[in-house]
């Protein structure tokens, strides 16, 4: 860590951000640029930003050694950002600092700095940087620059252009009515297709058994089996989402399990055409065990692989890999070379019923990624999406190490 911040880099970075803001760009891309600027200016090993929702926070931008925290839910003591009007006492940042420092090998809270980001009397989140332990504790100048950049982020939020990524929730009665109406529409739409196909092929087998011949009968049975499997997975997904209120999602007891083995078994259960597109790029057999619900891996992988298939060309490959890069978590990734996800859609993709414009691709119910986040966070893990370098999307799931 330098004795003093790099003020030249700070000035250049602020000018670059101002140019973007003045041109009307003030979304997640700009926020990520400011987080990178904090790391560069302060000579830190990593930086991150946690946005505060009404009952929790979420790390929506992270760089350097803090990057594994991307997507992590943060429990904090600021339960309602709408009530946080100036003047305010110091925001208790230690709990958020712990979330970052805990992901860094040998991470020490003494080398983590945090500053709140506010605008118009509302705290939107907090900016954090982590320094090398041998470099010593950061000084007053480092904190002053961090607070300056945090204030800059607060002003960007105040513009209300693509931020915050998590909007204010609708009133409970409005949300309940909307969910019920959507539930009926989604269920009828999603169930109709496989049921229609199964019924059609069953009728064909019943009335044209002899004329189909051996190969025709085998093909019809294959299609019925594939669609029945699709229907079973769909029913499981819909029931899981429907049981949200009673906490039944992920209710299977957690324990240590072999993540690579679970992933291979999950791949074997996928439909044949999707399974053939998967490239098991790096699944090391010597990974330590994960701690969580093994049965959930099949659902999580199915949703992520199906999502990758939906937004990529039919002849493109979907890669699955796993690994670990710290003492506390294991990760696996599903990466495609499809359309890629826009930064402003990264968090909304996990909202219930939300869908991006899928163009000519088949649209779904908007439940898959919502369910994935619920399942993963129910195991004290987290999931994130990010654009893939060279085009496409990376979905990354992190689970606690046993």
The 8-class DSSP code of residue 315 comes to T
Domain co-membership, 330 together with 210: no
Nearest CA-CA partner of 60 in 389, 345, 392: 345
**Per residue in 27-54, pLDDT tens?**
899 999 999 999 999 999 999 999 987 6
Q: Are residues 211 and 332 in the same domain?
A: no
| Token code pair at residue 85 | 């009007």
Average pLDDT (173-178) is 58
Specify the pLDDT at position 103. Answer: 75
DSSP H/E element including 307: helix 296-310
| Lowest pLDDT segment from 234-238, 318-322, 370-374 | 234-238
Q: What is the DSSP letter of 285?
A: T
Instruction: Single out the residue of 395, 378, 397 nearest to residue 293, CA to CA.
Output: 378
Tracing tokens 């909202």 back to the chain, one arrives at: 351
Higher pLDDT, 107 or 339: 339
DSSP assigned state of 45: S
Please check the confidence at residue 363 and state whether its pLDDT lies above 60.
Answer: no
Give the domain-ending residue among 158, 184, 219. 158
Burial 67-91 (b: 16+ CB within 10 A, else e): bbbbbbbbebebeebeebeeeeeeb
In the chain, the N- to C-terminal Cα span, in Å, equals 33
pLDDT of 80 over the 50 cut: no
Does any domain span residue 89? yes
Residue 16 has a pLDDT of 95
User: Is residue 90 situated within a structural domain?
Assistant: yes
* Domain containing residue 284: CATH number: 3.30.565.10
Residue whose C-alpha is closest to residue 346's, from 275, 300, 396: 396
**Same domain, yes or no: 94 and 192:** no
User: Do residues 69 and 185 both lie within one domain?
Assistant: no
> Among 203, 222, 246, which residue terminates a domain?
246
189 or 4: whose pLDDT is higher?
4
Q: Give residue 278's domain range.
A: 255-400
Segment 90-109 shows an average pLDDT of: 71
DSSP for 53-114?
A: -SS-EEEEEEEETTGGGTT-EE--S---GGG-PSS------HHHHHHHHTTSTT--GGGEEE
The continuous run of DSSP H or E covering 395 comes out as: strand 393-400
Q: 263 with 360, same domain?
A: yes
Classify residue 164: in a domain, yes or no: no
In a domain, 163, yes or no: no
Residues 27 and 153 in one domain: yes
Q: What is the DSSP letter of 293?
A: -
Q: What is the pLDDT of residue 19?
A: 93
56: pLDDT strictly greater than 70 = yes
Question: End of a domain among 132, 158, 184?
Answer: 158
pLDDT of residue 296: 84
Q: Tell me: do 109 and 132 sit in the same domain.
A: yes
* 303-330: pLDDT as tens digits: 899 889 888 998 899 999 999 977 789 9
The pLDDT of residue 225 is 86
Q: Which letter does DSSP use for residue 362 in this model?
A: P
236 and 260 housed in the same domain = no
3-state secondary structure (DSSP) of residue 338: coil
The better pLDDT of the pair 149, 116 is held by 149
Average pLDDT over residues 211-228: 87
Q: Which residues contact 377 (CB under 8 A, 6 or more apart)?
A: 73, 383
What is the SS3 assignment for 394?
strand
Q: Is the pLDDT reported for residue 58 higher than 80?
A: yes
Q: For residue 274, what pLDDT is reported?
A: 84
With cut-offs at 50, 70 and 90, classify the pLDDT of residue 127.
very high
Q: Which residue has the tokens 């790096």?
A: 282
User: Are residues 328 and 292 part of one domain?
Assistant: yes
**What's the pLDDT at 142?**
93
Read off φ and ψ for residue 171, nearest 5 degrees: -55, 150
Looking at residue 401, the DSSP 8-state letter turns out to be B
Supply the pLDDT for residue 173: 61
Residue 108 in tokens:
């020490």
Residue-wise pLDDT for 286-307, tens only, equals 999 999 989 889 889 988 998 8
Please indicate, yes or no, whether residues 79 and 192 belong to a single structural domain of this protein: no
Looking at per-residue pLDDT, the higher value among 202 and 135 belongs to 202
- Average pLDDT on 230-246 reads 66
Identify whether 219 is part of a domain. Answer: yes
In a domain, 2, yes or no: no
Average confidence score pLDDT of the chain: 81
pLDDT band with cut points at 50, 70 and 90 for residue 132: confident
Q: How many domains does the chain have?
A: 3
Q: Which residue has the higher pLDDT, 344 or 230?
A: 344
Q: How far apart are CA 321 and CA 331, in angstroms?
A: 8
Question: Do 40 and 141 fall within a single domain?
Answer: yes
Q: Is residue 299 part of a domain?
A: yes
CATH of the domain at 15: 3.30.450.40
Query: Model pTM?
Result: 0.75
Q: What is the pLDDT of residue 82?
A: 43
Q: How much of the chain, in percent, has pLDDT values that exceed 90?
A: 37
Strand 318-323 versus strand 329-335 pairing type: antiparallel
CATH of the domain at 190: 1.10.287.130
- C-alpha 155/C-alpha 122 separation (Å) is 11
pLDDT score at 180: 60
**231 and 337 together in one domain:** no
User: What is the rounded average pLDDT of the residues 132-146?
Assistant: 83
Has residue 389 been placed in a domain? yes
């Amino acid at each position: 860590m330098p004795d003093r911040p790099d003020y030249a880099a700070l000035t250049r970075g602020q000018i670059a951000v101002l140019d973007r803001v003045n041109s009307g760009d003030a979304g997640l891309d700009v926020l990520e640029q400011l987080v990178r600027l904090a790391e560069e200016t302060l000579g830190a090993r990593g930086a991150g930003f946690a946005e505060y929702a009404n009952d929790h926070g979420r790390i929506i931008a992270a760089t350097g050694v803090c990057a594994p925290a991307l997507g992590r839910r943060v429990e904090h003591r600021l339960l309602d950002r709408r009530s946080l009007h100036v003047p305010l006492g110091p925001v208790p940042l230690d709990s958020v600092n712990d979330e970052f420092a805990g992901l860094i090998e040998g991470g020490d809270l003494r080398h983590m700095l945090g500053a709140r980001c506010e605008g118009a009397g509302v705290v939107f989140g907090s900016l954090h940087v982590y320094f090398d332990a041998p470099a010593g504790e950061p000084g007053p100048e480092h904190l002053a620059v961090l607070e300056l950049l945090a204030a800059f982020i607060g002003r960007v939020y105040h513009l209300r252009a693509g931020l915050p990524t998590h909007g204010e929730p609708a009133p409970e009665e409005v949300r309940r009515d909307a969910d019920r109406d959507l539930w009926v529409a989604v269920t009828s739409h999603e169930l109709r297709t496989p049921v229609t196909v199964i019924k059609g092929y069953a009728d064909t087998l019943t009335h044209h058994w002899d004329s189909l011949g051996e190969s025709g009968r085998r093909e019809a049975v294959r299609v019925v089996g594939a669609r029945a499997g699709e229907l079973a997975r769909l029913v499981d997904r819909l029931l899981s989402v429907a049981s949200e209120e009673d906490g039944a999602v992920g209710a299977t007891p957690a324990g240590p399990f072999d993540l690579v083995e679970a992933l291979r078994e999950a791949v074997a259960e996928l439909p044949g055409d999707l399974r053939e597109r998967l490239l098991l790029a790096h699944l090391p057999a010597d990974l330590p065990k994960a701690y969580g619900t093994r049965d959930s891996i099949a659902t999580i992988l199915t949703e992520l692989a199906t999502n990758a298939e939906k937004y990529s060309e039919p002849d493109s490959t979907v890669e699955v890999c796993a690994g670990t890069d710290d003492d506390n978590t294991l990760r696996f990734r599903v990466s495609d070379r499809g359309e890629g996800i826009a930064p402003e859609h990264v968090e909304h993709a996990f909202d219930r019923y939300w869908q991006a414009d899928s163009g000519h691709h088949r649209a779904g119910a908007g439940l898959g990624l919502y369910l994935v986040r619920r399942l993963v966070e129910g195991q004290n893990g987290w999931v994130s999406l990010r654009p893939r370098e060279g085009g496409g999307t990376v979905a990354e799931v992190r689970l606690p190490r046993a």
